[in-house]
Structure 1
Amino acid sequence: MRAPRSSPTLAVLAAALLLTGPAAAGAVAAPAAAAAAPTVRFADIPGDGGTVLKGNVVAPADTSRTYPLVVLPTSWSVPQIEYLAQAQKLAETGYVVVTYNSRGFLQSGGEIEVGGPKDVADASAVIDWALAHTPADAAHIGMAGVSYGAGISLLAAGHDPRIKAVAALSGWGDLIDSIYSGRTQHAMAGALLGGLGFLTGRPSAEFQQILKDFLGSNLAKEDEMIAWGKVRSPATYLDGINRNKPAVFLGNAWGDSFFPPNQYADFFSKLAGPKRLEFRPGDHATSEATGLLGLPNDTWTDTRRWLDHYLKGEDNGVQNEAPVHLSSRSGGGYEDYASWQDVGKAATKLDLGGSQRIATNLDSGADGGVTLLSNALDQLVKLPPAVSVPLLPRAWTGVWQSSAYGSERHVRGTTRLHTTVTPTKADGTFVAYLYDVGPLGVGKLVTHAPYTFHDRTPGQPFAVDLDLYATAYDVPAGHKLALVVDTVDPLYIEHNPAGAQLTFSSPAADPSYLSVPLREQ
């Protein structure tokens, strides 16, 4: 356990800006600080096919030698000035930094490809340009970025062996498992990203059709949508990444409502090279947001340490630290683990006995909150979405509760639900929520996840295994845990026909349970 370090205080404001906006052999140590202030200049950079990408170059004033290169693609809908504060810090310590506005957005040319092949080719073209037009060292190249920039950086690392280090913050390893987890469309996230894309850029015809099919629940095109997403998922190129072995730093928030943490943890576990995973409280891009404003920020501090070691060869100790670094949503500093599997290995099974039948298409009041807002409030003021569990309408809500715990318990990692569902219709959706329930019955949301099924035989039971989103949460002494299941959540598109009902049961031959990674303090 480490003592707490600085934490974001302006995350909501910065998030709004974001969305609307061992060392390689022969590494040459850079000076601790440039002799003069870094230079900053705008540049038109030819991307794939000659498409002009608007960028900035921030570099040490002394051009008599070469420096490690860091390339920063921008976040979704954000101009190329996004990274200037961090670029300045990097350049002051001996980096050439090239930031560029991603294809299809704002002043850059082309169309929005959503991390497609042209975006990957753009990243390599920017590296080519930087090596030809800046004092960049071809042997020490890194990429980094937030959100969309993180995804492009990881994708590029699977294709371009020149990339020796990556810092991917609030990004994705698997695009489908991010916005279509549990085979359920993440409607609020998809609509927000699509709207911002139309507002600030030029979506390609392919992206427009995919978005239309996705939000319109065009299941006839599901295979096409999944194939489209796989092309844009770094997990698809794990063989290339593991062959190239760049040092990969992954940072994300527990409550990321665009790219939930499970898919990042799974991607991290499959990496073969040097790697580090950090999770903190917050929502999409809020854990690193204050750093973009130039304020103290743990995520960016650790990012710079990572790049300093793997691009400049600095012996700062980061290579010897535990590769998994977590901060609980409840506060109390940092925890380190040898692997992601070690985080949640102490699991407790809660029996989900009995049978509960619920009606669908009615909102019980239990939900995952509002994209970007709810988990940012949890980060800033420890105020997650909450419900009164005793008042939840049992006609359309299933509820199972544990006994009260005599001492504080820590939830760390992934909660897993195993149950049997019997539908009255062929299609359906439900959402499972885990609540921390206090003495007055008020439940604070610990985690949740959606699940959708299609083409099932009405009246025929089937087993369901569902991973809820990974989290780190402390349950106070005297509190209970409650599993709540309903069928409507504004975050997701539901597929429950009119009049449908779902029965959750626990057959003797296959008992239902909730496996919670729970341990005593």
Structure 2
Amino acid sequence: MRRTPLTLAVSAALVAGAAFGLAPAAQAGEAGQAAGTGIRFVDITGEGGTVLKANVVSPAGSAAGARHPLIVLPTSWAMPQIEYLAQAQQLADSGYIVLSYNSRGFWQSGGEIETAGPKDIADASKVIDWALAHTAADPANIGMAGVSYGAGISLLAAAHDPRIKAVAALSGWADLIESIYSGRTQHLQAAALLGGAGYLTGRPGPELKQILGDFLSSNLAKEEDMIAWGRQRSAAEQLDRINANGAAIMLGNAWGDTIFPPNQYASFFEKLTGPKRLEFRPGDHATAEATGLLGLPNDTWTSAHRWFDRYLKGADNGIDREQPVQLKSRSTGGYEGYPDWKSVHANQRKFGLDGTQKVWANVDSGANGGTVLLTNALDQFLRTPPIVSVPLLPRAFAGVWQSERSDSPQRVRGTVKVHTTVTSTEESGTLVAYLYDVGPLGVGKLVSNAPYTFHDRTPGKPFGVDLELFSTAYDVPAGHRLALVVDTVDPLYAEHNPTGAQLTFSSPSADPSYVSVPLRSE
């Protein structure tokens, strides 16, 4: 079993800092009021007396006694409180009071990092209290929004504070366990990056230190504690309260988000009963919103503004009459609307995983999901997903199955499902499944992937595996094949294969193995 070296966490922290431009100087000069603007930098007393560093951007030239809708923006993980200033100014220019604050434990805010724990949720309500007492905010029209960590806090706050009428949760999570522990597999690079960035820019609390240490070291004796910790921080576990409070919820995410993959958002969306909207676009974690944070035109933020205009201002802008599921293809860049998530999967095509294939564990076959943040950002901007030569993949370390060539394009939309039978020589193990678009020369472009880990299995006894790959929207050209590749090692994930382990994949006649691919019918 692999252990996480300290250097991985440190390297991840440096990558996070480079990717998001984190630097201590970003907080310089954040005292008092910025001259000639409607921006105030303030201290807000959060839960337990903790001081939260915040800024308020107000509409210019407001009439005396006028009230304005309020939008609260908790910062992303490891980001300084100036993160949202460009968006805050745009929102203020259209009539909102916008209050952004540094989440506890980060940068100059007090306290320790709680990872969207009870104190963070109480902080959100304290911030709203402060805004109602010290600004011209309208208590009947309050919204919350955020990217990543700010999105997770916003959703959880909507479960606990009925004053919140609208939420835009961008690149966040609804289910923390399904995000970084899907398939019972640690998403290694994602956790190391978050942990490293937390140590670099904040003060992790003792609970987070313990959870992160157990997670990265594969301490399975603490698995139940880790899962309970994650569920407490998951809006999916508080769905009844969110639905009862009735906030209008907009969810936005990227197909290739390597920190909070899209499947958990789609599942959460389907269970919401109030006004709701789901948008998926190409990219990786927070890359779909990144240009908007710089004040540049951005589809995600445009939708968020329209969402707030409709549900906080009452504007008849038509967003509530549009198809609530909006998908942008990785291949064409065009948008498609659907009435719900299940409609995305309305047409399924299966191809069989026939025969028996044996693979040795512990060796990377060359089929990989890429690098956290980088790979899927390149796919977003350059349309260059990870590639492999499928004919050259070493069959001793990778199982490979291919479909027939298709005479027409195949528009993959939604969640690909894999069913197979596995026999292991050991009681524990990890496998990673990849779906490739394979051209005439055998070059495979990655469509999707997902890991799966098992424990406490009887060696030599077959067992069934059902695995959902990460949802996507990808167009396979005419004349190409689909290929499923399964190996046991991927740098994105922890692996639990004992040395010398072997996995056998079979397709019993009573329970055939298959891949089910959702296709758009056009």
Shift of 1:63: 5.3
Shift of 1:49: 1.0
Q: What code does the residue aligned with 2:55 have? A: N
Q: Contact 2:401 / 2:485 at 8 angstroms: preserved in 1?
A: yes
User: Partner of 1:195 in structure 2?
Assistant: 196
Q: Contact 2:430 / 2:488 at 8 angstroms: preserved in 1?
A: yes
Aligned to 1:81, what secondary structure does the other structure show?
coil
Q: Which runs of 5+ in 1 are unaligned?
A: 1-11, 22-36
Q: Contact 2:413 / 2:518 at 8 angstroms: preserved in 1?
A: yes
CA distance in 2, matches of 1:207, 1:155: 18
Q: What code does the residue aligned with 1:75 have? A: S
Aligned to 1:80, what secondary structure does the other structure show?
coil
User: Partner of 2:19 in structure 1?
Assistant: 16
CA distance in 2, matches of 1:374, 1:460: 37
Q: Contact 2:324 / 2:339 at 8 angstroms: preserved in 1?
A: yes
CA distance in 2, matches of 1:442, 1:19: 38
What TM-score, normalized to structure 2?
A: 0.93
Q: Contact 2:17 / 2:23 at 8 angstroms: preserved in 1?
A: no
Q: Contact 2:347 / 2:521 at 8 angstroms: preserved in 1?
A: no
The Cα offsets for residues 38-86 of structure 1, whole Å up to 9 and x where unpaired, read as: 6111000111111110000000132521100000000000001000000
CA distance in 1, matches of 2:128, 2:85: 18
What TM-score, normalized to structure 1?
A: 0.93
CA distance in 1, matches of 2:48, 2:339: 44
CA distance in 1, matches of 2:449, 2:171: 19
User: Partner of 1:430 in structure 2?
Assistant: 431
Aligned to 1:144, what secondary structure does the other structure show?
strand
The Cα offsets for residues 484-506 of structure 1, whole Å up to 9 and x where unpaired, read as: 00000000000000110000000
Q: Contact 1:45 / 1:52 at 8 angstroms: preserved in 2?
A: yes
Over aligned residue pairs, what C-alpha RMSD do you find?
1.4
CA distance in 2, matches of 1:360, 1:375: 26
CA distance 1:252–1:19, change in 2 (3 Å): farther
CA distance in 1, matches of 2:238, 2:45: 25
CA distance in 1, matches of 2:23, 2:374: 14
CA distance 1:100–1:188, change in 2 (3 Å): same
User: Partner of 1:220 in structure 2?
Assistant: 221
Shift of 1:16: 1.8
Q: Contact 1:15 / 1:284 at 8 angstroms: preserved in 2?
A: no
User: Partner of 2:422 in structure 1?
Assistant: 421
Q: What code does the residue aligned with 1:53 have? A: L
Aligned to 1:113, what secondary structure does the other structure show?
coil
Shift of 1:437: 0.3
CA distance in 2, matches of 1:19, 1:324: 33
The Cα offsets for residues 76-110 of structure 1, whole Å up to 9 and x where unpaired, read as: 00001000000001001110000000000000000
Q: Contact 1:20 / 1:77 at 8 angstroms: preserved in 2?
A: no
Shift of 1:17: 1.8
CA distance in 2, matches of 1:471, 1:14: 28
Shift of 1:407: 1.2
Shift of 1:518: 2.2
Q: Contact 2:437 / 2:480 at 8 angstroms: preserved in 1?
A: yes
Shift of 1:520: 5.3
Q: What code does the residue aligned with 2:75 have? A: T
Q: How does 1:105-144 map to 2 (within 5 A)?
A: 105-144=106-145
Aligned residues: 495
Q: Contact 1:71 / 1:142 at 8 angstroms: preserved in 2?
A: yes
User: Partner of 1:150 in structure 2?
Assistant: 151
In terms of mean alpha carbon deviation, does 406-415 or 55-64 score higher?
55-64
Shift of 1:321: 0.6
Q: Contact 2:344 / 2:520 at 8 angstroms: preserved in 1?
A: no
Q: What code does the residue aligned with 2:43 have? A: D
Q: How does 1:430-449 map to 2 (within 5 A)?
A: 430-449=431-450
User: Partner of 2:49 in structure 1?
Assistant: 50
CA distance in 2, matches of 1:82, 1:306: 21
Q: Contact 1:54 / 1:100 at 8 angstroms: preserved in 2?
A: yes
Runs of 4+ in 1 over 4 A off after TM superposition: 12-15, 18-21
Q: How does 1:275-286 map to 2 (within 5 A)?
A: 275-286=276-287
CA distance 1:443–1:19, change in 2 (3 Å): farther
CA distance 1:156–1:460, change in 2 (3 Å): same
Shift of 1:331: 1.8
Aligned to 2:82, what secondary structure does the other structure show?
helix
CA distance in 2, matches of 1:295, 1:14: 21
CA distance 1:196–1:45, change in 2 (3 Å): same
Aligned to 1:82, what secondary structure does the other structure show?
coil
Query: Are positions 1:502 and 2:503 aligned together?
Result: yes
CA distance 1:169–1:15, change in 2 (3 Å): farther
CA distance in 1, matches of 2:329, 2:266: 16
CA distance 1:240–1:19, change in 2 (3 Å): farther
User: Partner of 1:39 in structure 2?
Assistant: 38
Q: Contact 1:141 / 1:164 at 8 angstroms: preserved in 2?
A: yes
Q: What code does the residue aligned with 1:485 have? A: V
CA distance in 2, matches of 1:203, 1:14: 17
